Amino acid sequence: MAQVDIRCSKCGSKNLAVRTSERMTMHSTSTILFCHNCHACKLHVMTEIVAVEIASYERSDQAMRINKPLDETDPNQLEIPT
């Protein structure tokens, strides 16, 4: 799983821990982070989802007919009947 790259503003460390996290709205969260490296920094972080893109999955009959990945096929190649 991917992570958000947030660093301590005081020492630059990535060694941060979530103290509290509160969902503000359906698309935003308020989080308080503490730095384990310098022990002196308390970060208030606001995160927000600004766009959502959903993949549209389509059935591909061509993928069932060929014996190699679709990325390696040439759509301009003629089919030779066997």
Query: Quick one: which of 54, 50, 39, 44 has its CA closest to 20?
Result: 44
Task: Inform me whether the pLDDT recorded for 79 exceeds 70.
Answer: no
Instruction: Evaluate if pTM is beyond 0.85.
Output: no
Task: Inform me whether the pLDDT recorded for 72 exceeds 80.
Answer: no
With tokens 């014996």, the residue in question is: 67
12-55, pLDDT tens digit by residue? 889 999 999 999 988 899 999 999 988 878 899 999 988 887 77
At residue 59, the pLDDT reads 79
- Cα dist. 46→20, 31, 43, 61, 70 in Å? 12, 6, 10, 45, 41
